[in-house]
């Protein structure tokens, strides 16, 4: 792609005035084609995968599915270049840790937007920018998201073409399978996300979730029965009748945490 080529752009922001202002500026640029707008993160994921833009301008602070979650949820092969838009300068460092091409402070200034578009053109001229950068961006989104210091209350997950918002309180168990996590939800639903167990555990309140083994994490509120096994280990039964083994290493933690009056 050369600098004179048209840059296909998607804009996602839950605040309509800010989104309209940014879209108007983009449409005044001769080398930009705005191929879609999204009023939220879930809609942005669908739009990006449908339109396959060169660049997505994502608001970081969208409810339910924020800009970081959008990056994590988009299928790897469909992930475009990303520039984050934020009202808070503190997110600038995170934007570059994420390998995003740029960040824009609200209200966005035309000259600053022009710099972002120029960076996108230059990145796209590199034949090797994808999929290496996509993989790096997704991994960094998980890392930076986990550095927020706040415990998760909801987890956005893919269900075919939909985004489902899972309340953490409804989470029963998490079982790791390599880089994939299998979530079991109250009511019988099951979802799979691409996330490392230790990263998810770090974002869940330790007062409410406990590790049973190297690859298993459960919601303490969902525990129904603890059965002793030979060798000093246990098998726990959850409210959904799921039975999970406790490793010998974690058995001591379970005894100290749950089995004392």
Domain range annotation of the chain: 7-146, 154-258
Superfamily grouping for domain 7-146: Response regulator (3.40.50.2300)
What is the reported pLDDT for 134?
A: 65
Pairing mode of beta strands 154-159, 102-105: unpaired
Q: What is the pLDDT of residue 261?
A: 46
The class (CATH top level) of 154-258 is: mainly beta
Residues 77 and 114: beta-carbon distance below 8 Å: no
Contact assessment for residue 182 and residue 192, using Cβ atoms and an 8 Å cutoff: yes
Lowest-confidence segment of 1-5, 119-123, 162-166, 226-230 by average pLDDT: 1-5
Q: What is the C-alpha to C-alpha distance for residues 75 and 79, in angstroms, rounded to an integer?
A: 6
Q: What's the predicted TM-score (pTM) here?
A: 0.77
pLDDT score, position 208: 93
Directed axis angle between helix 110-124 and helix 16-27, to 10°? Answer: 70
> What's the average model confidence in pLDDT over 115-144?
73
Residue entry with tokens 């998201």: 145
């Amino acid at each position: 792609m050369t600098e004179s080529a048209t840059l296909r752009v998607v804009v996602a922001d839950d605040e309509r005035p800010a989104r309209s202002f940014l879209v108007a500026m983009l449409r005044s640029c001769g080398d930009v084609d705005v191929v879609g707008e999204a009023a939220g993160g879930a809609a942005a994921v669908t739009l990006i995968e449908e339109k396959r833009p060169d660049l997505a301008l994502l608001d970081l602070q969208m409810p339910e599915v924020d800009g970081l979650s959008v990056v994590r949820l988009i299928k790897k092969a469909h992930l475009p270049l990303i520039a984050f838009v934020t009202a808070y300068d503190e997110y600038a460092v995170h934007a570059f840790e994420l390998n995003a091409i740029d960040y824009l402070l609200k209200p966005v200034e035309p000259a600053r937007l022009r710099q972002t578009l120029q960076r996108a053109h230059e990145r796209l001229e590199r034949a090797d920018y994808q999929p290496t950068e996509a993989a790096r961006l997704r991994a960094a989104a998980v890392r930076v998201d986990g550095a927020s210091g706040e415990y998760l209350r909801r987890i956005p997950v893919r269900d075919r073409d939909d985004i489902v918002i899972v309340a953490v309180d409804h989470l029963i168990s998490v079982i790791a399978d390599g880089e994939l996590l299998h979530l079991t939800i109250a009511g019988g639903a099951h979802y799979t996300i691409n996330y490392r167990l230790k990263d998810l555990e770090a974002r869940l309140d330790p007062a409410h979730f406990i590790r049973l083994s190297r690859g298993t994490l459960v919601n303490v509120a969902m525990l129904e029965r603890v059965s002793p096994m030979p060798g000093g280990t246990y098998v726990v039964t959850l409210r959904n009748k799921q039975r999970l083994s406790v490793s010998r290493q974690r058995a001591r933690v379970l005894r100290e945490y749950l089995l004392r009056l």
